[in-house]
């Protein structure tokens, strides 16, 4: 991969280095550093997103990404944070930060991706302390399906929520997300998808955002979609997928 994972670049690298030194009970010292990181991210994104179709190379890569994503996905974190994988997290963390720091590292990593608030509520909630990202599927979506240029979603009962065809419209250069727009009018909160260049074959999970306001989607610590980043894993995941995903997450967030 030519860049670190999106979740990593957003918040984990800065906070973990502090928490491992001070312990999980004391996170106040990392708050100012986190806010500086977030501010820098927002400033960069404002000037770097290209809303028009990009180069031929980007267009081909965007088309290939949709092809590579073919399949159905459920939420990532309920799967890989299941109790049965606790020892995997500890072992992978211990191999990088040592046994004494492993438990603190796992607790910090899991806490940062299991937030429960988004948007302006999250901005207010996290203004004076460490933040966490909500990585759930919003709009009552239980599963997403990618099939060529078509993206669709169903609720937990299997009822159709949306189904639209999409086309590539540009790149978010700061985070490397490919931006797709619905071909259908009145697509509501499924008008835009901003998708990281991750697949089950390369990172064993996917990361993306979606909504009706592209300008708001370009911000991570402000606006309607603040502190939210959906993460998914194939409904046909294997044990090896889980093991590789956990190992990757630990490596990219705990390695210097």
Maximum alpha-carbon separation in the chain: 55
Three-class SS state of 11: helix
Q: Which token pair is 247?
A: 């190992």
Q: What is the mean pLDDT of the chain?
A: 84
Q: How many residues does the chain have?
A: 256
CB atoms inside a 10 Å sphere around CB 160: 9
Specify the residue for token string 């599963």. 143
Q: Identify the three-state secondary structure at position 159.
A: coil
pLDDT band at 175; cut points 50, 70, 90:
confident
Rounded Cα–Cα distance for residues 48 and 198 (Å): 20
> What is the value of pTM for the model shown?
0.82
CB 96 within 8 Å of CB 109: no
**What ranges make up the beta strands (E) of the chain?**
71-75, 143-147, 150-154, 160-172, 177-182, 192-195, 206-211, 230-234
Domains and CATH numbers, the chain: 6-254 (2.40.128.20)
Q: Which two tokens stand for residue 185?
A: 């009018």
Long-range CB contact pairs, 212-215, < 8 A, 24+: 212/187, 212/188, 214/51, 214/179
Rounded mean pLDDT of 114-137?
94
Alpha carbons within 13 A on the beta-carbon side of 44: 14
**pLDDT 10s digits, 20-62:** 333 322 323 333 333 444 444 444 444 344 444 447 899 999 9
């Amino acid at each position: 991969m030519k860049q670190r994972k999106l979740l990593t670049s957003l918040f984990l690298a800065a906070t973990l280095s502090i928490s491992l030194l001070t312990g999980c009970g004391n996170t106040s010292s990392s708050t100012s550093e986190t806010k500086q990181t977030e501010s820098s991210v927002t400033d960069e994104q404002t000037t770097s997103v290209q809303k028009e179709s990009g180069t031929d190379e980007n267009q081909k890569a965007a088309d290939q990404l949709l092809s590579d994503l073919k399949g159905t996905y459920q939420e990532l974190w309920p799967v890989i944070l299941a109790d049965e994988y606790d020892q995997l997290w500890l072992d992978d963390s211990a191999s990088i930060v040592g046994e004494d720091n492993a438990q603190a590292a796992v607790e910090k990593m899991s806490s940062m991706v299991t937030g429960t608030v988004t948007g302006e509520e999250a901005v207010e909630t996290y203004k004076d302390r460490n933040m966490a990202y909500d990585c759930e599927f919003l709009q009552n979506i239980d599963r997403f399906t990618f099939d060529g240029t078509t993206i669709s979603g169903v609720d937990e009962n299997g009822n159709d929520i949306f189904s639209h065809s999409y086309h590539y419209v540009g790149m978010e250069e700061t985070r490397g997300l490919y931006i797709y727009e619905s071909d259908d009018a009145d697509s509501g909160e499924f008008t835009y998808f901003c998708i990281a260049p991750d697949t089950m074959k390369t990172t064993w999970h996917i990361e993306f955002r979606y909504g009706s306001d592209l300008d708001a989607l370009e911000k991570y610590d402000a606006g309607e979609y603040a502190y939210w980043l959906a993460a998914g894993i194939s409904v046909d995941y294997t044990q090896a997928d889980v093991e590789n995903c956990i190992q990757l997450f630990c490596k990219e967030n705990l390695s210097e």
